[in-house]
Amino acid sequence: MIRNVVGSVLALAGATAAVWSPFRAWYDGRHGRDYRIDELFTGVTDAKAEIIGSILLPFAFAALLTLIGVVLRSRVLVAVAGVVVLGFTVLWMVRVGQVEDGLSVGSDGQGLGDGVANALGGGLLLLIGALVMSGRTRRHATRVDRPRDWGHDDDRGHDEGYDRGHDQGYDRGDDQGYGRGHGGHEGPAGYDGRESGPPRSAPPPSSDVPWDPGRDENPPPPEHRA
């Protein structure tokens, strides 16, 4: 955040200096707004240019890029604005040097003026501002937790409780008490799965009851027959 603020201030200061530079003297007292933009590609002449078609145009475009870059926190746009300012300034210096057979700096207003210094300084401030800015921070995707399905969790908890509690209690308690031979478990030797103890026998018939041959397969002793 602090880097973006500092970088934005530097970029805006550089854009201001660049836009203000054509209104200052560039060479031999001649202002930058007097140089036509097409002369940078064809050759510098003594003809006076209109403001809309002067060297002010690329600098105004660079200032617009700077404003958009500061709003969007785009380091690329600010850097492009600095390159535009420096590029046109260097191109102007090359064209004027070809006409004047070199560039000179004088203290009496002759040679390079403070307008060129403003343009070069503005371009450098734009590049420095782009380097200082941290740019737009990327937002990390956050994991969105799914809403908890209470019904599903209750079923799972009930099933787990039943499986772990009831079944274990049944297997460990009831099976051991009932018998290991039941339910496929191996019982002790000689155990057939029925209750232990001697086999039950039918109670002895009473001597008072007459014997019915069709009622009981085991007839009573002869002395008890009626």
- The reply to whether 93 falls in a domain is yes
Residue 164 resides in a domain? no
Question: What token pair was written down for 36?
Answer: 């036509």
What is the predicted pLDDT for the residue at 178?
Answer: 46
Residue 173 lies in a domain: no
pTM above 0.95, yes or no: no
Domain that holds residue 85: 2-132
Helices (H), the chain: 2-20, 39-42, 56-72, 75-100, 114-132, 150-161, 167-169, 175-178
Residue 9 lies in a domain: yes
**Count of domains observed in the chain:** 1
Distance CA(27)–CA(33), nearest Å, equals 12
CA nearest to 35, candidates 101, 116, 110? 116
- CA distance linking residue 170 with residue 167, whole number of Å: 5
Determine what percent of the chain is predicted with pLDDT higher than 70. 60
Which range has the top average pLDDT, 120-124, 192-196, 198-202, 218-222?
120-124
pLDDT of 23 above 70 = yes
**Count of alpha carbons within 13 Å of 198, Cβ hemisphere only?**
3
Query: Count of CB atoms within 10 A of residue 173's CB?
Result: 10
> What pLDDT digit, counting tens, does each position of 185-203 carry?
444 544 455 555 555 555 5
Look at residue 217 and tell me if it is in a domain. no
Residue 214: per-residue pLDDT: 57
35 falls within a domain: yes
Q: Is the pLDDT of residue 175 over 50?
A: no
